[in-house]
Structure 1
Amino acid sequence: MADGARKPRVLIIEDEDNIALALDFLMSREGFEPARLATGAGAIERIRREHPDLVLLDVMLPDVSGYEICQEVRADADLADVRILLMTARGSALERRKGLALGADGFIAKPFEINELRVEVQRLLGAGDGG
């Protein structure tokens, strides 16, 4: 990867506007190129088309669950390098295990601290300290 060639792309799949707007703002501020999808419908097609570096994926979406989207992305070998961070208000250990078993790269419980999210995103994208 060439340094500074392009901003890492982050697709935010979140149905709650206030959370999505906050995530969009934070990702922009962190130097990423965010895009948003408000429902799970069409998520797989969009991930295939845009091939984001990271998907911030809400588990509880109105039409298709984040777990289903995660599982389908992981079933597509062409998307093996797409990182998935599941986000849910149900942050139990069982939910976390389920998400990771389905192939998520990370799991964060809502509400989350901004710094907690920042650290997790940096970990998943392998971003160093930017030096």
Structure 2
Amino acid sequence: MPAPHILIVDDEPNIVMSLEFLMRKNGYAVSIARNGTEAIEAVDRAPVDIVLLDIMMPDVDGYYVCQYIKTHPDRIKTKVVFLSAKTKDADVKKGYEVGADLYMPKPFSTRQLMVKVRELLAAPQTQADLTP
């Protein structure tokens, strides 16, 4: 069985490097997108299990990327985790409204992130997943 595939989307190189190291250390396959446009291209190219997604990026924001993923018929099972410095209630609410599976404010605990990633990967299929 292949390792779960994680797509990291952030325009901050230090965050990308630390998340990539963390995910690879835990046995996951990792792809990187440095902005929203690259994220959409990556999702169109190949399925990923989880997208770790920043909101504030220079081109297409994370809200749009999440909405795109969640409305893409072939990517309906992809989980989206927002990792964002936007912590106002309205920002978090909007994240869930566009389809996020989880919203974690920056700075976040890498230990807690790994727990949540494992939980999302182990989550049973939803009814929507079971519908042919």
Number of the residue aligned with 2:130: none
> TM-score normalized by structure 2?
0.88
Distance 2:88 2:110 in 1: 20
Deviations 1:47-77 (A, max 9, x none): 0212111110111111000000111111111
Distance across 1 between alignment mates of 2:43 and 2:31: 11
**Pair 1:10 & 2:6 matched:** yes
Instruction: Give the number of the structure whose residues are more often helix, by fraction.
Output: 2
Where does residue 116 of structure 1 map in the other structure? 112
Q: Which moved more, 1:71-80 or 1:9-18?
A: 71-80
Give the Å deviation of 1:92.
2.3
> Are 2:69 and 1:73 equivalent residues in the alignment?
yes
What amino acid maps onto 1:126 in structure 2? A
User: 1: CA distance between counterparts of 2:26 and 2:90?
Assistant: 31
Asked if residue 31 in structure 1 is aligned to residue 27 in structure 2, the reply is yes
1:14 Cα deviation (Å)?
0.7
- TM-score, normalised to structure 1, is 0.89
Distance 1:88 1:71, change over 3 A: same
Where does 1:70-109 land on structure 2 (aligned, <5 Å)? 70-109=66-105
Displacement of 1:91 in angstroms is 1.8
Structure 1 partner of 2:38: 42
Residue segments in structure 1 that go unaligned for 5+ positions in a row: none
Residue 39 (structure 2) pairs with residue 57 (structure 1): no
